[in-house]
Structure 1
Amino acid sequence: MPNDMPFLKKISGKLSTRLPKKPHTWFKRMNPNDKAALESFSSRASSLRHILRTNNPPSEHEFSVIRYLLQDVQEYVAVHDLHSEYRAYRPFHDLKLACQSALSSLRRLPAEIISHIFSQVVQDLFYFSDEGWMSLNTTKEPWTLAQISRSWRAVALGHQEIWSYVKIDIKVLKMKRAPEPSLAALQCCLRRSGTHALSIYFKDSYPPVTPRVKELLCALVPHSRQWKVVRFSISFEDLELLMPVRGHLPSLHSLALLVYGFTTSGDVNIFEIAPQLREVSLEMYAPYTQLLLPWPQLTTIFGWRARDMSFLRQATSLEGCSLTFYRSDTPSVLVPPIQMPLLRRLQLELECHLAGLTAPSLEDLNIHGIYMSPTLSLQHVTAFVRRSSCALRSLLFRHITIEGEFDIMPLLDSVPSLAFLQVKYGQVGWNKLFRVLTITETRRLVPNLKAIRFIFGFQLHTPPYLDPSIHPSLLLDMIESRFYPDRTSGLESVALLEWKESLPELCVGRLAKLEEQGLKVEDDARLGVEEDLPSVVDWAWDDVMD
């Protein structure tokens, strides 16, 4: 965000309406003509000090006066060959720069555009900034936006949205040994936000280090009707301070709760009544069923450390779901059926939790095994897909086990609609996988496959995930069998990432020929553009689990 204030402060003393009583030595050495010119320019500038010494925008008349003054100064400097490196002539250049700054179009932006810029700045800071930005830090935005000029201050103070992003991270403040967040600053932000919807990020440290947390949480409670996007990372004890908001959350759309410790009051029903709530992200040591939510209306759930999937029985409107589980909990063999009629995207940490689940509308499935402990089999995935009779479009695996052709063949035979396949790491028999995917006269699995991404992990140097016996020729055989130069059908793109070494020269030539015919190829030296990735990669990819 532009800020001319430091420069204007620097030169403000040099634009006086009259010369100092004790002129500097350099001023005494100026020739009479330059001295007279400087006095004349300074006199003309004296009526413009409220513009030249501030960031305020000039009026139309002032704009014209400053423009003529600038022209005269520039002409005098050019005609008399004055150089800014000579100290005696620096005031001419300082005056010229002050005039140029005053004429900047930034000073005359309409209030609507300034408001839009302010909104984008603060919104980006709230969602994407590093840990250094906090909304209660009065040396940061949005506070500093009100310190540029009188007109910008009026826009900033009257623009409710920029005060509606509340970010407080006690943990970061503790690490930086920074002062505790100010309760007065929070109250000021909330007051200036007016009736605008609030986005709140509130993170405590563990263990708690200040009683200020309770004060700040309690200050947020009276404004609960404005909560729209909120994330709390606090203890169960402090979570119970939010109990007064129950029944007063008409605008809440997205809720993220990372709660540590254990509740002593049984079920937590703070967020049970929230008619607009659609997205929930949870991480807690207590069972999810202990948290009462409007499950039937939720469309997206991200969950960490879930005990099981039983809580999903109530989430009948769910469209997207991503879950990890307690590693110490073993899923029950006998799982009551869970019907998810609208579920389109699903990501799970372990495939065994699919037992009993049915999702006839599923399009994207991502199974993410545990690092250094790949999944034991794909039988649960195959049974789930067949039970659901879904038209699966995308299938992503990470840290899985494919030892033989019959590990993966039944699954691929069950998903003829598949258009995108990704396999990343794991105990994978790559040669066997290549053979299964190769189209022959007698076998044509996943005939609609458009994109393949293999991330081998050969650069990770982590046995037993490496397969030194891999045959690149089998890989090229598979690709060639699926690519049709007319491009009316068949494979369109392939990604071969984290390969141990270069492909043999013969394979490189075969791959280059396919590229000439239109196949998109991505490797470690030629990474693809983000726009080419299927949306499922952006929605539920490694970052969700790692």
Structure 2
Amino acid sequence: MASCVPPSPQQDSTVGRDPALQFPFELSSEILLLSIDEDLTVESTVKRPLALSQVSKHWRSVSLSTPRLWSRLHLQIRNEDTRYVSLVETWLTRSDSCPLQLHILWSDPEALIPHPVLQAIVQHSDRWQRILLHLPSTALASLAPIKGHLPILAELSLRSGDFIRPSALDIFETAPMLHSFESDQYYSPLDLSLPCTQLSTVTTAFISIPQCLELQRRCPRLEKGTFILTDSSPQGLDIDIHSPFFHSITLSSYLADINPLLERCTYPQLVYLQISVLPVSPRAQLPSFLARSPNLRTLDLRQVQLSSEDLVACLQSVPNLVTLELAEYGSGDFFTRDFLVAMMFSPQRQSAAGDGDTDHAVSNSSDYLVPHLKHLEITVSPPDSVVPLGSFVTMVESRCGLGTGNQLTSVHLWMENLDTVYEVLGPERAEDVKERILKLQNEGVDVTLSVP
């Protein structure tokens, strides 16, 4: 077992030469921990702790007396590869009684069990706190001894690489601290026996809309959800969700029409919403869904088929929005002059500028679209997009004018064809746009026009 006694200066011949020796032991220990990021990678959990322990005798003593430094581990194991067994045992010993964060990646498509690495970590399941397991489904049975021995497990991620239905689906049934669960398409949370009523965060892939509704029904205290949807089969669409706890949700689909889901769900405390990659426009239900989320502060729409008229209708439903992120790809057509005019404060006087530039006057901002907006980010990827840049800058100016009360503080426009847009404007108009952007920046507005 590693010693937790601070190292003595007499133990190190570098006394008087190493400035670090002047630090209190607790501060030296915290410095080592700050050098380790949160990602469970080989670099962060193996290479960096080893490198820190080899700087000097003093730093080795500090590192060996800092159990938390060794409580995180990423391993990529293979069926007949036992070289990591001693490394695992060393980390488990040096981490003392600290909670463990483990990322175990099994490289072979089929598991040869029992595996000594899994056997070693299973013996310490009472210390599991954050666990990421990427295993062949046949390996799940080798974790059977952990059932009922997960007193502090808080975050669990299960991934596989095969379609074989795993056994031992009840091993995580008793985990009194479990609040976060993540899975891919091979480990459906509906197939596993999980303490659903205590889960607050769920991320899962390739589930149908009926399954998504059923999952929310089983997890009534969800606060954050990420759902990658497959289809919108009408079967099972008889569940209505009204969740007072949901504050963040991400919806993505390459196949499904999410309108049936939006119609069935109400999240009055929703603060963050991201929707991406939808093959069918959600315009039928999205405005009314947004209207049922009066506390929404961040809206992020990516590759969503919405016209500028649809987008304006959506924004009319979220008057308290603070952050708006929009990404237009492929056939998207929301980034138009009509959309920018709708976003302006006082868009009543239009000039004859060649690209639709618009004059504005200071007025009551509460009468306009998303009046509390502070942060705006727009990405326009199609290289042949016609970008009304003059109208965009005028819109920004109108929302940053004195007397509006609530003004934009950061604006980012990313365009693949930025140089082409400037060429279309012509030298004089392009220079005018650049000068106006510089003026906004000098007034403290974070304005960026660049290539993504």
Q: TM-score range by the shorter chain?
A: 0.7 to 0.9
How much does 1:114 deviate?
3.8
Contact 1:57 1:108 in 2 (8 A): no
Match of residue 397 from structure 2: 480
CA contact (8 A) 2:377 2:411 kept: yes
Aligned partner of 1:381: which letter? L
Q: Which of the residues 453, 457, 467 maps onto 2:385?
A: 467
| Equivalent of residue 381 in structure 1, options 266, 283, 286 | 286
1:434 aligns with 2:340: yes
Deviates more, 1:394-403 or 1:516-525: 516-525
**Aligned residue type for 2:281:** L
User: Residue deviations 1:510-537, cap 9 Å, x none?
Assistant: 4344444443311228x9xxxxxxxxxx
The amino acid across from 2:69 in the alignment is I
Change (3 A) 1:383 1:181: farther
C-alpha distance in 2, partners of 1:348/1:277? Answer: 23
Return the match for 1:448 from 363, 372, 378: 372
Distance 1:217 1:492, change over 3 A: same
Match of 1:79 in 2: none
Bigger drift between 502-511 and 271-280 goes to 502-511
Residue 197 of structure 1, aligned match among 99, 102, 121: 99
Aligned to 2:216: 312
> Is residue 127 of structure 1 aligned with residue 35 of structure 2?
no
Instruction: Provide the residue aligned with 1:92 in structure 2.
Output: none
Uncovered stretches (5+) of structure 1, i.e. residues with no partner: 1-54, 64-99, 528-546
Conservation of the 8 A alpha-carbon contact between 1:400 and 1:428:
no
Which residue does the alignment assign to 2:357? Answer: none
Cα distance, 1:168 vs. partner? 0.7
Q: Helix, strand or coil: the match of 1:506?
A: helix
1:322 to 204, 209, 226: 226
Q: Which amino acid aligns with 1:506?
A: D
Seen in structure 2, the aligned counterparts of structure 1 residues 243 and 355 have a Cα distance that, compared at 3 Å, is farther
Q: Which has the higher contact order (CA 8 A, sep 6+)?
A: 2
1:366-445 matches, cutoff 5 A: 366-369=274-277, 373=279, 375-386=280-291, 388-405=292-309, 407-426=310-329, 427-431=332-336, 432-440=338-346, 444-445=368-369
* Cα 1:287–1:280 shift into 2, 3 Å: closer
Q: Is the alpha carbon distance of 1:281 and 1:401 closer, same or farther for their aligned partners in structure 2, counting shifts above 3 Å?
A: same
Please tell me whether the aligned partners of residues 359 and 390 of structure 1 are also in contact (alpha carbons under 8 angstroms). Answer: no
The one-letter code of the counterpart of 1:383 is S
CA distance in 2, matches of 1:436, 1:417: 16
Structure-1 separation of matches of 2:66 and 2:18: 23
% same residue? 25
Give the structure with the larger helix fraction. 1
CA separation in 2, counterparts of 1:513 and 1:102?
Answer: 54
Picking from 80, 88, 93, the partner of 1:186 is 88
Alignment of 1:90-101 (within 5 A): none
* Superposed CA offset, 1:15-72 (max 9, x none): xxxxxxxxxxxxxxxxxxxxxxxxxxxxxxxxxxxxxxxx99558xx99xxxxxxxxx
Deviation at 1:285, TM superposition (A): 2.3
Inter-partner Cα distance in structure 1 for 2:104 and 2:277: 31
Whether the 8 Å CA contact 1:288–1:306 is kept in 2: the answer is no
Q: Distance in 2 between matches of 1:397 and 1:292?
A: 34
How far, CA to CA, are the matches of 1:419 and 1:145 in structure 2? 43
For residues 221-260 of structure 1, what are the alpha-carbon distances to aligned partners after superposition, in whole Å with 9 as ceiling and x for unaligned? 1211111111100022111221221221111111111133
User: Structure 2 CA distance, aligned partners of 1:331 and 1:488?
Assistant: 47
Aligned to 2:30: 116
Which aligned pairs between 1:529-544 and structure 2 lie closer than 5 A? none
Cα distance, 1:415–1:134 mapped onto 2, change above 3 Å: closer
Establish whether residue 490 from structure 1 lines up as the match of residue 407 from structure 2: yes
Aligned counterparts of 2:342 and 2:168: Cα–Cα separation in 1: 50
Deviations 1:155-174 (A, max 9, x none): 44443222322221137xx9
Amino acid at match of 1:167: H
Quote the Cα distance in structure 2 between the aligned partners of 1:199 and 1:185: 15
How many angstroms apart in 2 are the aligned matches of 1:454 and 1:258? 33
Inter-CA distance 255–505: structure 2 relative to 1 (3 Å threshold): same
Deviation at 1:472, TM superposition (A): 2.2
TM normalised by structure 1 equals 0.66
* Structure 2: tracts of 5 or more residues without a match: 1-6, 349-366, 423-429
SS at match of 1:523: strand
Query: How do 1:504-519 and structure 2 match up within 5 A?
Result: 504-519=430-445
The 1:364/1:133 distance shift into structure 2, 3 A limit, reads closer
Distance 2:208 2:83 in 1: 35
Q: Which amino acid in structure 2 is aligned with residue 379 of structure 1?
A: A
Query: Cα distance, 1:150 vs. partner?
Result: 5.5
How well do the aligned residues superpose, as a CA RMSD in angstroms?
3.3
Distance 2:407 2:53 in 1: 58
Structure 1 residue 361 corresponds to structure 2 residue 265 = no
Q: Figure out how many residues of one structure are paired with residues of the other and give that number.
A: 407
Structure 1 residue 394 displacement after superposition: 1.2
2: CA distance between counterparts of 1:106 and 1:518?
41
TM-superposed deviation, 1:436: 2.7
8 A Cα contact 2:241 2:265, kept in partner: yes
Which residue number corresponds to residue 202 of structure 2? 301
Call closer, same or farther: CA 1:398–1:491 in 2, change over 3 Å. same
- Whole-angstrom distance in 2 between the partners of 1:201 and 1:506: 53
Secondary structure (helix, strand or coil) at the match of 2:89 reads helix
Letter of the 2:39 partner, please give it: Y
